[in-house]
Structure 1
Amino acid sequence: MIPYTLEKIGQIIHAEIIGDKKAVIDQVWFDSRHVAGQSQGIFFAIPGVQRDGANFIKEVFEKGVQNFVVTKAIKELPANFLVVDDVTRALQKWATYHRQQYKSMVVGITGTHGKTIVKEWLYQLLYQQLSIVRSPKSYNSQIGVPLSILEMTPDADLSVIELGISKPGEMESISAIVNPDIAVLTMMGNAHSESFKNREEQAQEKIKLFVQAKKIIIPFDDALIRDYVLNHYNHKQIVTFGSDENADVQLASALNNPNMTIKYKGRTYHLQLPFNNEAAIYNALICFTVVTQLHVDLNKVIGLFNHLQPVEMRLAQKEGINNTVLIDDTYNSDLSSILIALNALNNHPYFRKTLILTDVLQDRLKPKELYTKVAHWVNAYPIQKVILIGKEIDQYKDLFKNLFASYRDTESFLDHLNVTDFHEEVILLKGARKYELERISKFFQVKSHDTVLEVDLENLISNVKYLKSKLNPSTEMMAMVKADGYGMGAVGVAQALMNYHIKYFGVAYADEGEELRKHGITQNIMVLNPEQSSYDTIINNQLEPEVYSFRMLNNFTEALIQHKIQVSYPIHLKLNTGMNRLGFKKEQISELIQQLADNPYVKVKSIFSHFATSDIPEQEDFVHQQAALYQEMYDRIAFNLGYNPIRHISNTAAILHYPEYQMDMVRPGIGIYGVSPDEENQKFLKNVVTFKTVISQINELEIGETVSYGRRFTALEPTKIATLPVGYADGVKRILGNGNGHVMINGQEAKTVGTTCMDMMMVDITHINCKEGDEVIIFGENLSVKKLASWCNTIPYEILTSVSKRVKRIYIQ
């Protein structure tokens, strides 16, 4: 960003200035978890529903930040303060001023779906012709939008900014900040936010973006949007896109055909995409429409559509050789994406960190200025090894601290690569596609798989935030990561959540907790099913056991004595209030109180129980019965202990349905992973996991030919089938064979045929345009795990936890 003095910012936001007015600011922070020793950064202490940024000022100061925007200065802290009435509004005022300084083209993008993809694809299509500023990641909120605007520079030809809303009244403030020349509405899905009465109200809020715009781009096929805009904004230039022949930019080919035919102003254009799902083709049509409204060579852009990269490939975390983790960002190497990638590296719990960085392309700064800035950023982070690749960056290698090696090209790096140099560390691979970093990525990966379980960590975090929005500010959260994180990988899930104010992680067995400790998880970990043979593991790794019987209390006490533990060890008492699995019953409480009074070796950290029917509306009375019995038992124990242990009883369903029982802490499980017990809340939880594979082979059957064991499928007409390299040994239930389920291929349903095998299954693709190697979705965004579970007459928990260990987990962030 362009540097500002503290005095100038103070004038813009009408702040009281305390400290050095001449301090220079070139970076903005609002999240204490992402701060990394930037003395020229400024921290906005923004209040939140669950956490107040003001509570983290001292922590941020200790990380090296000297400048703060606050509502109240901390006198004993030797720092610079800008004191304002409203910190969020101050950030927006600064961004509004900054936007007014530049006359370059600004494109604002809103909609319920596709904003980030359209923004990133526009960048991929245009960066060779234009200098572009774009919103980092999905920064589209009341905070994210001003941060995006502050990235605008004098030499930028184009800025592409996302705008998102969550409730009425938000678009007006952020659209005024962006003041777009072109406003784009991607689409309006049928689902609406809980803050809006209906789809119409949400659409009208989003359309407020158009008030500021000179030109408007909308979907012609959406009658609600089209009619409203044509009635209220007919004084502006309106450009429509869609399949209807009356659209200004018409998709003349099928929505599932990657060989796109587009008609615009009497001309026909032919585009080829590397994707053939409907969403990708629709987003490509939006990108084409936007490009037609910019001053660029359209013919140069058309050929680039076939080289578009999926946005989700960014910051994918993969298992690497020698117990390493690879963060793969071989996507581009512009300045804004480098900061995002460095934050991802910094937030990983592995202590040893390595950066592999190529020449920085797609930026118009002079090389010395560019690499001085990049080195300044890199040097601020605790990175033990820096490896540089590229002729240009090699000339400035002396600017980088902890330089391990520098090479002029990828080939030289691979020639000198020694696997023994990398072990038990996280490696960020960051650079431009020109350098073929996929070759390095392939080398570091343990092995490549056609069948993978893809875990979207941003959606995981979004679900945690949604559940937290249902809680009182004082209510803590224990994230359940038992059963290997519900099949998604407990380590990967815990690493993603550890910086999001999770007080506890819950595991079933001690070895699960031990694995989390080995991978840098420092939070409290409760073990729900501690076995006697695991007590040494629990004590050695500072895990905290659930205690549910007198035998267990006595045995664990003996283990503590043998380990010569000098302080009272934390335990968690389980009460049986009606589930009748584990726990102390009401009639045992008197004896329990006596045994605890005579036991100096343990300290009761929490007392908890478990609802049996919080997801069954018809069983509401039993929920209240359990809660009342729990509170009665808790009160007796706490009174005799002389202190109040943490109280918790609510799982995901109880969080959503029984807010009165939040108590001190809640224990969400399935909700974190994107599954709600009811359809109303399901609208606001995001899909976290996608089980995918590819087509191994395509066979054409003649009438009368059969498929698989037992010949349970016979072709009654010429039939085309695809064989997929996934079977019941991978977690695909055998019951799904013989037409009892389907998969998704290129956005279309492909019904199963024949018996599902151990390592393979077959599906009917007679009416689907596909080829060998095409992606296949077993379950995910458009084929939910709930639906798959219903076909199998089971619950989503079983489907998720049944995915085999041999299926590789890939983490996307």
Structure 2
Amino acid sequence: MNQNYIKNEFMPTSSLVSNVAYITDYYKEFRYKQLLTDSRKLAIPHDTIFFAIKGQRQDGHNFIKSLYKKGVRCFIIEDKEAALRHFNEEELLIVQDAQFLLVKNSIRALQELAAHHRKQFKLPVIGITGSNGKTIIKEWLSQLLSDSFQIIKSPKSYNSQIGVPLSVWELSEEHTLAIFEAGISQPNEMEYLEPIIQPNIGIFTNLGSAHDDGFENRIEKATEKAKLFEHCKFLISRDIYSAVNTAILYLKERKGDPHFFGWTTQDVAIYPSAVDMRYLDPNVGGVNVGLYDPHTDKKLNFYLPFSNPAHVENCLHCIVTMLLFEYKEKEIQEKINKLKAVEMRLELKQGLFNCSLIDDTYNNDFAGLNVALDFLLQQSNKPKRTVILSDMPEENQKGLYEKIFQLCAKKGVERVIAVGENIKRTLIPDTETLIDTQFFATTEDFLSDFADGEIRFGNEAILIKGARRFEFEKIVDALELKVHGTKLEINLNNLAHNLDYFRSLISPRTRVMAMVKAFGYGSGTNFEIAHLLQYHRVDYLAVAYVDEGIALRNEGIRTPIMVMNPSVDSFEKMFVHNLEPEIYSVATLKRYAEYAKEKTYELNLADFGADVKDVFKIHLKLDTGMNRLGFATNDLPVLLGLIQSVGESLEVASVFTHLAAADDGEMDDFSRQQIKEFEEWAAELEQQLGYSFLRHAVNSAGIIRFKNAHFEMVRLGLGLYGVDSSKKAQEHLLPISSLKATISQIKVVHPSDSVGYSRKGRVERISKIATIAIGYADGYDRRFGNGVGKVYLHGELAPTIGNICMDMCMVDVTDIEEAKEGDEVIIFGEYPTVTDLANTIDTIPYEILTNVSERVKRIFYAD
């Protein structure tokens, strides 16, 4: 390939600083230049710089050609050959109007560019780090300070090596306060983030176990995090974290002591500049807090409308920050009263009229809208996309709503329902975008028209995103399908985390088949899980039956799908919907071969010609010791004959086996024998067929325990859903499901009374018995009755009492004083876990997960 003609478009130097200086100088006239690192999130091509980043799973250079075709003309690259390898000679002549800027490291170039941008502004900048609470504190401070400042903040939890520069890049002259969060997972990362944020006020939230494995100890982790505050004038933290204190001492010794404006529960002589917390007393629905501010020599009293210790601590960080900004006690209290617990997630809910609702009602900003629209794009199971959007009071209004409308158009939104005076006055639809737009001055106006039937919805994905004062939760309530109150929450972020963990264990060349059978292992209708897996580019999906595969195809899933239990009468359906059968017996293969030959003949008569090659893909299952389904050794001659009789239209896509005891160390010799037999048989098949195919043998436990058996593909099932049956890697996985119910009623029961059917429940003292809305019809097994099962609420476990009923059960909450009617209880989740419940009744996590009834409402959410 001749590349000489574009050599001058590349920077002649390998100096990163020179490259970044060139970039900032060359593009300084583009005030709203978009920085893009994920090709799927392209919004405005002509206004975009794409940073081609080489990641563990994806190489950004592979997407340059497609982005060019979409209109992008500026590319920051770190590999010249990789950037051009997808263009042929003729295409290279066409791309001469593009700019390719070569740098050592695209991420570092992105960071340097953002740091250069940050230096152009003089304003108070709050930098937040710590193990927990960063995003909550950032969002609360934004609410508390919004009427005094024009605020820019990180969207959601954009706190990574890439997220931070993308956040800071949005900083403009109109902003008077910035709030950015920074997270790290290993040493030497914060030194890149600090110059980008350049905070002059720091908040160190706390130090927990997150990312412990990336550091030698907590002291090292705290010290690394503290590097964010090396140039801060003020530092806000709490006194009780010894590792944090060590990090603060490090700052004092290395850079001079930042003014410690934190809060303390210890001896004020040790922290003379800290706000002293004199008392913390529970109150109805919250706590009373007494503080002494040494800077003003005043005693302060606040009521915090939270009882959760984490919320209380986060709120105290916010109060101390407001004291630093010289807010008065009365004003702080008035603002705290309006705070609500922030739901840091996008929730996917089932709506009326066959609609999907994306609930993002806790705030509204432009950067967050971009994130939410990306989530909306994943809902390809609905033919229409709608956005219900409020004013953005915290954003610079100049040109804002025109940008919003243009972004919605680029993201494929077909309908915008706009609520608010500003958006109604300034958003002028571009008729060429063909977006249907309706305007309402208030939320009440919209709800009134909806109730009167003047606004209609049907079979669409609806993003509901509004600033808190617009109370869009009322719109969600009006549009949400009301079903059984018990709910199963599915955390899509955790599922993506688990997928990434297992991918980290395999070669980049090894493919992943994800199991979405059995109602998504109990998690849902398969659709949401499948859409996420398709978005993260898994190579195959596997379902149990043909109807499941057809449903996924009807919902927009394009990923190859293997059907594990195909029936003979379903062959035509599989052909129509491009599904690939698992073939495990001579009888089934014989019938499928006959069908393939007949269908090939029909296609040839229809003059399809060469298009019928490899039309029929099959997956052969070999039985190496499971003795369930699969071909035996003596089936090989017949198997080969049947395949070869069809000709080129029939292709073996994969050959696989199932290990009988991949999670059991005592059976490793048997597993190794299975693997050895599988390799030998697969090699013989490959030789006889004359072509290669994918081989797969290991499930989730096998991925962890048998790295020599990953072959060309692995099958990921239970591990994807957060459970490691081998118990080797459970600490690396996150639970994706939380089953929750509510307390319907609490009664006082005396020792002479009984509880439940057959009077099985008995008490030995005057007791408080709570009835919760979950029973065996919801999947809560009857074996959990009579004290065997325990539910979690207010930080305590409450045992069941009496038999489990069909729709409800009873628990003893005598020792949980805070328990009240309407409280949410956790059946399983982070604690107790699915494995905990399985061990209690001597079963396996699979049974607990898949037993959750379809009548239980599923709520899917993601950050």
Q: TM > 0.5 between the two? A: yes
Q: 1:310 Cα shift? A: 4.2
1: distance between equivalents of 2:290 and 2:27? Answer: 59
Q: 1:152 to 1:512 in 2, by over 3 A?
A: same
Secondary structure at the aligned position of 1:729 is classed as helix
Name which of structure 1's ranges 446-455 and 83-92 shifts more when overlaid on structure 2.
446-455
Aligned to 1:407: 440
Aligned to 1:529: 565
Q: 1:462 to 1:230 in 2, by over 3 A?
A: same
Secondary structure at the aligned position of 1:706 is classed as coil
Q: 1:295 Cα shift? A: 4.4
Structure 2 residue 530 is the aligned partner of structure 1 residue 494? yes
Q: 1:641 Cα shift? A: 1.4
Q: 1:421 Cα shift? A: 4.0
Aligned to 2:479: 444
Aligned to 2:645: 598
Contact 1:737 1:753 in 2 (8 A): yes
Secondary structure at the aligned position of 1:82 is classed as strand
1: distance between equivalents of 2:206 and 2:707? Answer: 34
Q: Report the structure number with the largest CA radius of gyration.
A: 2
Contact 1:24 1:40 in 2 (8 A): no
Contact 1:171 1:208 in 2 (8 A): yes
Q: 1:749 to 1:270 in 2, by over 3 A?
A: farther
Contiguous gaps of at least 5 residues in structure 2: 1-9, 85-91, 269-273, 294-298, 604-611
Aligned to 1:57: 64
For 1:57, give the aligned amino acid: I
Q: 1:657 to 1:160 in 2, by over 3 A?
A: farther
369, 374, 379: which is aligned to 1:343? Answer: 374
2: distance between equivalents of 1:256 and 1:608? Answer: 61
1: distance between equivalents of 2:282 and 2:232? Answer: 29
Aligned to 2:5: none
Aligned to 2:622: 575
2: distance between equivalents of 1:448 and 1:538? Answer: 33
Aligned to 2:207: 188
Aligned to 1:802: 851
Contact 1:349 1:520 in 2 (8 A): yes
Name which of structure 1's ranges 414-423 and 643-652 shifts more when overlaid on structure 2.
414-423
Q: 1:631 Cα shift? A: 0.8
Structure 2 residue 549 is the aligned partner of structure 1 residue 513? yes
Structure 2 residue 130 is the aligned partner of structure 1 residue 81? no
Secondary structure at the aligned position of 2:628 is classed as coil
Q: 1:83 Cα shift? A: 2.0
1: distance between equivalents of 2:572 and 2:329? Answer: 67
Name which of structure 1's ranges 704-713 and 723-732 shifts more when overlaid on structure 2.
704-713
Q: 1:313 to 1:50 in 2, by over 3 A?
A: closer
Aligned to 1:730: 778
Aligned to 1:91: 110
Structure 2 residue 337 is the aligned partner of structure 1 residue 315? no
Q: 1:409 Cα shift? A: 2.7
Name which of structure 1's ranges 694-703 and 183-192 shifts more when overlaid on structure 2.
183-192
1: distance between equivalents of 2:678 and 2:454? Answer: 55
2: distance between equivalents of 1:166 and 1:323? Answer: 42
1: distance between equivalents of 2:304 and 2:694? Answer: 58
1: distance between equivalents of 2:519 and 2:759? Answer: 37
Q: 1:222 to 1:746 in 2, by over 3 A?
A: same
Q: CA RMSD in A?
A: 2.8
Secondary structure at the aligned position of 1:365 is classed as coil
Aligned to 1:174: 193
Q: 1:257 Cα shift? A: 7.8
Report matched runs for 1:100-249 at 5 Å. 100-190=119-209, 192-230=211-249, 233=252, 235-241=257-263, 248-249=275-276
Q: 1:231 to 1:144 in 2, by over 3 A?
A: closer
1: distance between equivalents of 2:829 and 2:276? Answer: 31
Aligned to 1:3: none
Q: 1:548 to 1:311 in 2, by over 3 A?
A: farther
2: distance between equivalents of 1:259 and 1:722? Answer: 22
Q: 1:571 Cα shift? A: 0.7
Contact 1:181 1:214 in 2 (8 A): yes
Aligned to 2:608: none
Secondary structure at the aligned position of 1:288 is classed as helix
1:489-513 Cα deviation digits (max 9, x unpaired): 2111111221112111111111111
1: distance between equivalents of 2:222 and 2:429? Answer: 50
1: distance between equivalents of 2:619 and 2:123? Answer: 60
Q: 1:356 to 1:284 in 2, by over 3 A?
A: same
Structure 2 residue 661 is the aligned partner of structure 1 residue 613? yes
Q: 1:222 to 1:618 in 2, by over 3 A?
A: farther
Q: 1:373 Cα shift? A: 2.1
For 1:104, give the aligned amino acid: L
For 2:503, give the aligned amino acid: K
Contact 2:800 2:810 in 1 (8 A): yes
Q: 1:519 to 1:730 in 2, by over 3 A?
A: same
1:195-229 Cα deviation digits (max 9, x unpaired): 33444443333233333433333332333333453
Contact 1:168 1:205 in 2 (8 A): yes
Aligned to 1:27: 34
1: distance between equivalents of 2:289 and 2:727? Answer: 38
Contact 2:495 2:734 in 1 (8 A): yes
Q: 1:104 Cα shift? A: 1.8
Q: 1:33 Cα shift? A: 1.8
Aligned to 2:585: 549
Q: 1:598 Cα shift? A: 1.7
Q: 1:525 to 1:364 in 2, by over 3 A?
A: closer
Aligned to 2:53: 46
Structure 2 residue 460 is the aligned partner of structure 1 residue 460? no
Contiguous gaps of at least 5 residues in structure 1: 1-5
Query: What TM-score does the superposition give when structure 2 sets the normalisation length?
Result: 0.87
Contact 2:511 2:712 in 1 (8 A): yes
Structure 1 vs Structure 2: percent identity of aligned residues?
39
2: distance between equivalents of 1:643 and 1:24? Answer: 55
Q: 1:182 to 1:484 in 2, by over 3 A?
A: same
1: distance between equivalents of 2:467 and 2:312? Answer: 25
387, 393, 402: which is aligned to 2:417? Answer: 387
The aligned length equals 805
Query: What TM-score does the superposition give when structure 1 sets the normalisation length?
Result: 0.93
Structure 2 residue 516 is the aligned partner of structure 1 residue 481? yes
246, 252, 274: which is aligned to 2:279? Answer: 252
Secondary structure at the aligned position of 2:348 is classed as strand
Q: 1:448 Cα shift? A: 4.6
Secondary structure at the aligned position of 1:484 is classed as helix
1: distance between equivalents of 2:372 and 2:499? Answer: 22
1: distance between equivalents of 2:471 and 2:367? Answer: 21
Aligned to 1:432: 467
360, 377, 383: which is aligned to 2:391? Answer: 360
Q: 1:245 Cα shift? A: 7.0
290, 296, 302: which is aligned to 1:270? Answer: 302
Q: 1:88 Cα shift? A: 0.7
2: distance between equivalents of 1:56 and 1:103? Answer: 37
Q: 1:284 Cα shift? A: 2.9
Structure 2 residue 720 is the aligned partner of structure 1 residue 676? no
Aligned to 2:506: 471
Structure 2 residue 733 is the aligned partner of structure 1 residue 685? yes
